[in-house]
Amino acid sequence: MRHHLILRVVTKLLVGTIILFAFYVQFHGDFSPGGGFQAGVIMAVAFILYGVVFSLRKAQKVFPPWLVHKLVALGVLIYAGTGIVSLFLGYEYLDYGAFSPHHPEHGQHYGILIVELGVGITVTGVMVAVYYAFAARPPRISDEEW
Taking the least distance from each CB to another protein, the nearer of 134 and 146 is: 134
Return residues touching another protein (CB under 8 A): 31-33, 37, 66, 69-70, 72-74, 76-77, 80-81, 83-84, 87-97, 101-102, 104, 130, 133-134, 137
Cα gap 42→25, rounded to integer Å:
9
Q: Minimum distance between the CB of residue 10 and another protein, rounded to whole angstroms?
A: 27
Taking the least distance from each CB to another protein, the nearer of 3 and 102 is: 102
> Residue 2 contacts by C-beta under 8 Å, 6 or more apart in sequence?
none
Q: Minimum distance between the CB of residue 92 and another protein, rounded to whole angstroms?
A: 4
Q: Minimum distance between the CB of residue 16 and another protein, rounded to whole angstroms?
A: 26
Cα gap 37→73, rounded to integer Å:
15
Helix (H) / strand (E) element for 71: namely helix 65-88
Taking the least distance from each CB to another protein, the nearer of 11 and 34 is: 34
Cα gap 23→11, rounded to integer Å:
18
Q: Minimum distance between the CB of residue 2 and another protein, rounded to whole angstroms?
A: 27
Q: Is 121 helix (H, G, I), strand (E, B) or coil?
A: helix
Taking the least distance from each CB to another protein, the nearer of 11 and 26 is: 26
CA distances from 33 to 13, 24, 119, 122 (A): 26, 11, 15, 19
